[in-house]
Structure 1
């Protein structure tokens, strides 16, 4: 019934929009009505390259060439509005009367906008809007920041936003996750060109797999975004806007980094764009190759940063079918081999610990935009998809003793019966399609408004199998195979198959003018893992008493739906044991209620441009997912059941300031946050001791004595500092020199640490010189700790010099260093028994780099 209603709604939307759309498609004939002109910097008088000149309300436009001039050909006669936009300059509009067989000249004097008052964003309401007029607060991260910190991928540049942290959560495989307003990665939704196609599987290593040279800008919306984008947009939304071609150009970059000045991290990339003379078609192609050597911080032969060998290739293209319609497509493919642990060059099944993944990812989206002649109607149809194929190995055989010698050394081969078998094959498929329609009303009730509604369908398929382990069958206590109701043998490691369908309807109305906006909207989702339909409303209020004062208040309800796998499908290694997470049959979705108040203030003091942002936020979480460790079945897999726990509350303050004075630009952000569960949650285990201090044992179902463990709990949301921030300082003393100083601060936080007594992998266990003891199942006692980490300040710099070969051709050479003071974790676990998840703080140690960029 729900499916029929959903598809009926989509067909109705197509029919309704199509009635008006037919009037915009008409035969095009040469009108010889042209507009020419140039764009100059208002201060220097220099002609500017790559400034966009668009016709307001249409998909048609162009950009200035290498001489700073533009040419719009064969326009439709009538009154139009030209819009000039350029990175670092204020937008301008000019009303022009276009006449048949006439060419007119329209020139622009571009005024500097160092603090980005007139940035254009789409994440606030699914329509292009000036940032200062957007109904919700949107922060924009430009490709300029990625260049300042020599970021080769999304993860390395994303931290330079208020309320945003990126951290490495594994010593072996090195997967990163983004945390917004103190909530971990599973609460943030990653979009590519506004489409949620980053599945749970792709999101594990996705932050590092997205190359920086495909990114035009990154838009970050903090707080609940489920009303617009669906599940998992509780902490916020990170929207990656890919580069679109604006002019003919080519860029090549080669950068070589040296981790701890000892291991190479090499990155080469290129971008090439071509645009047709009439601006009806254009394409951009990008590619990147990266190789990172593994790095061992403490000399125990186990990596803290794993090996990466990655390639990416993609394109973004458009075709303007008419002045009022545009077809846009983006496609990219990623290939990445990643390996961490010990003896990286050996096969993973014969080493102490190995986490190895080999990814092939294919992602793409297609969008069709159609406007009416009077610009009031906008219809959009879109589809996107992602295919992820992953081969993996998670596990380890530990340190094998062969006749008193180290197994695997010359003359002492590891016996084949000790080989590991934790190979995995995972396939992920994500598809989505949607329709969206908006209508600008001149007056509705009490002011002009924009009505927007649409429908979406998303399907997520995930299949995971461990092919060697899948041969094994489940046995009863007598050693006999266990059969199901149909008489079939039950595998000990069954194939896991997940298919999720989500049907969505969304709508909103935004009453707005330059001073006020009031938005009411909601989204209705039917998710196959949730019994009831989920309603996510939102309301926003914006008040601009002047152009330079933006005040906002927002409320949004969000949700996160359960899945069969944990959010990252990541199999951790703790003592060489794989981990799997299963849902409780009665699991409910997590629900959030997010509130925020913000003031975004701009002012000019003579030659100084200034911006101050103050944002208070409060998020209430209900039915928070938590994992309960299940009794050990002694089959090499640790099992957890995901259940609903208590609620949690996250609240705090985001502060951001910007200053621009002549050749200096300073930007800094600080977050103060408090995050706690309503009730204590499990963070680890400790083995029970009796009055004499001896570890307590009890008989399990098989009659074997095993250690009795108790849950360790706390109300703290772990891995969340109460204070963190960033800054960037750019100085351009001349047209050729580019100097940048950047830094991030991570305050103290609590991090869980799993420790096996007597294994001597953790610093605590080594210092106490605990004896190696195990129970009758071969398991050591647990003495987990909740560690309060030190604070970290990661300071970096970059110096670049541009060699201007010709007017439109330049070569930049640069050198720099990240984490100058080597503010990095010092107490890593050691050896095969280490807790690979015990990693915190900055994502890389002191790292020097140098490189060259060629542009024309």
Structure 2
């Protein structure tokens, strides 16, 4: 009898344990959703749904759990369950997040807020968007964002920057998790070193953001938000190659360290080592590159879910372009022309929420950047170190949401150019205050101000004001006005100052640039009864500059003259985005920008160099679920730009033609945890040498007086195929 009781108890326990499972089905519009992610927060355990949308967790202890189902492009659904020695069935039906209008953003106000609720317009681009045109770096990935244009600044070494609404790269601040990591020297060279596998989303703010972010955020802000280790997949890999033998590897994985920490590691490796000269000028069409970037982020569990994260990045890049017979034995010599750039960077950033009842944060970042470059026989050696610290206090009161902050930035810069006679050491002390006022249920007013003291330029004051009106839950009107400022170091920002035969002339002590901007924004979303979603957003803006520093290529063809503009510069324009999502698998994002830039110097009007007056871009996707296939067609179109000629007799066109880069991609998703993708980039085979007698002036004598490589407006890389694979374990 005693043995029977023991056996019965054991069988009952085994039976009860075997029933302790969680299973169910994931659907989208009530159709099975394959390879969705299901995650149990308390156990840090995740699975994927199979090709029929089914999932199962086995051997789950009794207890209370929070379970979340998610899939790229759909709104996540979270449910709380109680598990007590019995199997539980939980089904999820995910709804498409058509245009991320409910996305939580931080860039516009330095704190998390719904995109529909923020008074500052913020555009959000997730990794799903970036994957529709796979690239090896974030610089190229932004080419399909409306009003944002990656601009190459050199025909030979292919360094570049990012233009927003017609303003050049130095007016765009690029941050990682809100920290000013990518700036000055690294704006030119560092954008290609951020592992795409670690990017959660990219937030774009168009217009001055100096009242929150300080110098450099004059034209806009690009904030790269990295994934939180807790929410990242256990392992991910994205590997692709092109018919030009460009090879890119992105790896990411996470692990728990004890019970209090989770770490996320990302590695990006890129290699292109195949000199090609399709335009027969004896110069490489595309710069040869080898780079590696290692990113490591830690999240620590704390009481009351207080935040604490630390991240670091190591980056090294070796790139060169030049005459086809160049090799490293010619580096810095006068026999064979080549431009060779060695870049080394170290970055550390952290965010710590103070253990107080108030919502207070301490953030800091440190970067060290070393540049060793040669342009023919011109050697450029530069070193830059930046330390940044910031305190913020988010205080909610009745009808008021206050953000108080203080920041300190120290910058060390030194190079071997004649313009830098000794190391530049800059200290900037800042305080800022922002108040978002709820005037009424549908009316919000944001007032902000920032005071900076620069040890070289004195006091700088940057106010801003924003107003938001929601007449309905599907309509948002916004008005933003503010000022911006920028403190300039030419040789960290203008590659043309270091290449070619033009002499660099600086006519005066350069004063900080200041800008004034006003922006009108309207956002509308419509959901039709047949399931079609339509989103529409349009903006109109005007920006006015004082003391703008514009390189003068026109006065003397053998010189680049830098001075503060004796007059003013302005740009005004309108842009729009249309998002369409249908229930039969078709999605589209179409954008356009029309603008009128103008410089007025000594009463004479001119059009800025390399600034298009209109542009358009599109991303059209079609999903075929029964074939497990997605098709993505992406492209952009740009109007003519004025180009830097050497003289009136230069035979090259003064304006670029209308040009377009278009791509198509096919992605196959049937194999569990895998995605196979391939397609064609630049299907029109567009290159800037079409209709132009030559691109590089004086290519036959690169050490002569007529050599110049600044005549560039589009990538000099023709049609190419690509093939890749993604593998993800949750």
Selected match of 2:594 from 672, 684, 706: 672
Contact 2:40 2:68 (C-alpha < 8 Å) held by counterparts: yes
Q: Secondary structure at the match of 2:140?
A: helix
> Is 1:618–2:542 an aligned residue pair?
yes
1:45-102 C-alpha deviation (Å, 9 max, x unpaired): 5487446788xxxxx99685436689999999xxxx99987642336688x89999xx
Selected match of 2:488 from 562, 566, 581: 562
Contact 2:173 2:183 (C-alpha < 8 Å) held by counterparts: no
CA distance in 2, matches of 1:614, 1:166: 22
Selected match of 2:345 from 361, 368, 378: 361
Selected match of 2:364 from 374, 383, 394: 383
Instruction: For residue 452 of structure 1, report the CA deviation from its aligned partner.
Output: 0.7
Instruction: For residue 332 of structure 1, report the CA deviation from its aligned partner.
Output: 1.2
Instruction: For residue 645 of structure 1, report the CA deviation from its aligned partner.
Output: 2.9
- Relative to 1, partners in 2 of residues 1:302 and 1:288: Cα closer, same or farther, differing over 3 Å? same
1:821-836 matched pairs, under 5 angstroms = 821-826=684-689, 827=692, 828-830=695-697, 831=699, 832=702, 833-836=706-709
> Is 1:195–2:179 an aligned residue pair?
yes
Partner of 2:235: 250
- Relative to 1, partners in 2 of residues 1:155 and 1:501: Cα closer, same or farther, differing over 3 Å? same
- Relative to 1, partners in 2 of residues 1:738 and 1:223: Cα closer, same or farther, differing over 3 Å? same
Selected match of 1:510 from 429, 433, 436: 436
Partner of 2:641: 749
Instruction: For residue 494 of structure 1, report the CA deviation from its aligned partner.
Output: 7.0
Contact 1:763 1:829 (C-alpha < 8 Å) held by counterparts: no
Contact 1:173 1:355 (C-alpha < 8 Å) held by counterparts: yes
- Relative to 1, partners in 2 of residues 1:93 and 1:150: Cα closer, same or farther, differing over 3 Å? closer
Selected match of 2:262 from 282, 290, 309: 282
CA distance in 1, matches of 2:469, 2:320: 51
Selected match of 1:646 from 567, 582, 599: 567
Instruction: For residue 603 of structure 1, report the CA deviation from its aligned partner.
Output: 0.6
Partner of 1:690: none
- Unpaired runs of 5+ residues, structure 1, are 1-34, 55-59, 396-419, 467-491, 682-712, 765-785
Partner of 2:680: 817
Selected match of 1:592 from 512, 515, 528: 515
- Relative to 1, partners in 2 of residues 1:328 and 1:389: Cα closer, same or farther, differing over 3 Å? same
CA distance in 1, matches of 2:292, 2:318: 9
Selected match of 2:469 from 527, 531, 543: 543
Partner of 1:689: none
Contact 2:465 2:480 (C-alpha < 8 Å) held by counterparts: yes
Partner of 2:52: none
1:456-491 C-alpha deviation (Å, 9 max, x unpaired): 11111111127xxxxxxxxxxxxxxxxxxxxxxxxx
> Is 1:115–2:99 an aligned residue pair?
yes
Q: Secondary structure at the match of 1:203?
A: helix
Partner of 1:451: 402
Instruction: For residue 516 of structure 1, report the CA deviation from its aligned partner.
Output: 3.1
- Relative to 1, partners in 2 of residues 1:393 and 1:457: Cα closer, same or farther, differing over 3 Å? same
Structure 1 range deviating more: 125-134 or 843-852:
843-852
Selected match of 1:601 from 521, 524, 535: 524
Partner of 2:450: 523
Q: Secondary structure at the match of 1:752?
A: coil
> Is 1:44–2:28 an aligned residue pair?
no
Instruction: For residue 844 of structure 1, report the CA deviation from its aligned partner.
Output: 3.3
Q: TM-score of the superposition, structure 2-length normalised?
A: 0.85
CA distance in 2, matches of 1:108, 1:514: 33
Q: Secondary structure at the match of 2:187?
A: coil
- Relative to 1, partners in 2 of residues 1:756 and 1:356: Cα closer, same or farther, differing over 3 Å? farther
CA distance in 2, matches of 1:644, 1:853: 50
1:614-657 C-alpha deviation (Å, 9 max, x unpaired): 1111111112123468999xxxx967443343211111111100
CA distance in 1, matches of 2:477, 2:405: 28
1:674-693 matched pairs, under 5 angstroms = 674-679=596-601
Instruction: For residue 321 of structure 1, report the CA deviation from its aligned partner.
Output: 1.6
- Relative to 1, partners in 2 of residues 1:581 and 1:329: Cα closer, same or farther, differing over 3 Å? farther
CA distance in 1, matches of 2:445, 2:100: 24
CA distance in 2, matches of 1:91, 1:851: 27
Q: Secondary structure at the match of 2:116?
A: helix
- Relative to 1, partners in 2 of residues 1:519 and 1:581: Cα closer, same or farther, differing over 3 Å? farther
Equivalent residues, number = 682
CA distance in 2, matches of 1:566, 1:291: 25
Partner of 1:9: none
CA distance in 2, matches of 1:629, 1:185: 18
Selected match of 2:619 from 728, 733, 745: 728
Instruction: For residue 733 of structure 1, report the CA deviation from its aligned partner.
Output: 0.2
Q: Secondary structure at the match of 1:145?
A: helix
Q: Secondary structure at the match of 1:329?
A: strand
CA distance in 2, matches of 1:656, 1:371: 42
Q: Secondary structure at the match of 2:350?
A: strand
Contact 1:248 1:274 (C-alpha < 8 Å) held by counterparts: no
CA distance in 2, matches of 1:311, 1:173: 18
Q: Secondary structure at the match of 2:158?
A: coil
CA distance in 1, matches of 2:660, 2:674: 32
> Is 1:793–2:660 an aligned residue pair?
yes
CA distance in 2, matches of 1:589, 1:639: 19
CA distance in 2, matches of 1:75, 1:371: 27
- Relative to 1, partners in 2 of residues 1:207 and 1:583: Cα closer, same or farther, differing over 3 Å? farther
1:478-536 C-alpha deviation (Å, 9 max, x unpaired): xxxxxxxxxxxxxx8975421111111011111248733211111111123313x1111
- Unpaired runs of 5+ residues, structure 2, are 1-20, 50-54
Partner of 1:460: 411
Partner of 2:391: 435
Structure 1 range deviating more: 234-243 or 640-649:
640-649
Contact 1:628 1:643 (C-alpha < 8 Å) held by counterparts: no
Contact 2:35 2:673 (C-alpha < 8 Å) held by counterparts: no
CA distance in 2, matches of 1:742, 1:366: 36
RMSD across aligned C-alpha pairs, in angstroms?
3.5
Partner of 1:417: none
Contact 1:742 1:796 (C-alpha < 8 Å) held by counterparts: yes
1:60-99 matched pairs, under 5 angstroms = 65-66=47-48, 87-90=72-75
- Relative to 1, partners in 2 of residues 1:723 and 1:458: Cα closer, same or farther, differing over 3 Å? same
Q: Secondary structure at the match of 2:144?
A: coil
- Relative to 1, partners in 2 of residues 1:601 and 1:37: Cα closer, same or farther, differing over 3 Å? farther
